[in-house]
Amino acid sequence: MIDANRSSPDRQKKSQRSRLSAGLLLFRRKGEALEVLLAHPGGPFFARKDEGAWTIPKGEALPAEGLLTRAQIEFEEELGIRPSGKWIELGSIRQKGGKTGYAWAFEGDLPNSFQIKSNTFEIEWPPRSGKLREFPEINRAEFFREKIARRKMNPRQVPFLDRLLAVLRRNEEG
């Protein structure tokens, strides 16, 4: 099991210049409603941000790395649970900073006893104070219905939700 409270050696090897990320979009059905799991970034920069700040659990990947495997590892590191299921490929998006993000969706739920167990990161805080502080990569994870998820999600990631809905509609019609 991955120690979700410490940075992995793989993560420490990754360069700041990594131009790829990979993530997973967990979804569940509640009656007729579809809900998706989004994560709220931890740390001081996102402390007072809500709409447009939530993200799918994801992380940086190296060019030669298997992207789905990296997405699974990141999900476990950020949430503390191992993902499993039938993977639905959602393709890629271009993120604001120019990085390319890849995602897969899978159907499931969080255990009733779920408590977030995210990796942490260290930054100088407050700025120019000379003091390093540790923060969780993810400080919250919640399921949101589609309409609310669209508002909460990083706008660049909304196409992942649209693609998931298109696949689910095709499967229902098919």
Residue 109 inside a domain? The answer is: yes
Q: What CATH number is attached to the domain comprising 97?
A: 3.90.79.10
Residue 1 inside a domain? The answer is: no
- Residue 17, pLDDT score: 54
pLDDT score of 5 more than 50? no
Residue 49 inside a domain? The answer is: yes
Give CA–CA dist 158/174, Å, rounded: 24
Residue 168 inside a domain? The answer is: yes
Q: Kind of pairing, strands 100-107 and 20-30?
A: parallel
Residue 3 inside a domain? The answer is: no
Mean pLDDT computed over every residue of the chain: 90
- Residue 146, pLDDT score: 96
Q: Per residue, what are the HEC states of 20-55?
A: EEEEEEEEEEECCEEEEEEEEECCHHHCCCCCCCEE
- Residue 142, pLDDT score: 97
pLDDT-wise least confident of 13-22, 34-43, 78-87, 127-136: 13-22
- Residue 18, pLDDT score: 74
Residue 2 inside a domain? The answer is: no
Domain enclosing residue 135, as ranges: 9-173
Give CA–CA dist 159/25, Å, rounded: 12
Q: Using one digit for the tens of pLDDT, what is the confidence trace for 85-104?
A: 999 999 999 998 899 999 99
pTM to 2 decimal places: 0.87
Total domains, the chain: 1
Residue 38 inside a domain? The answer is: yes
Residue 138 inside a domain? The answer is: yes
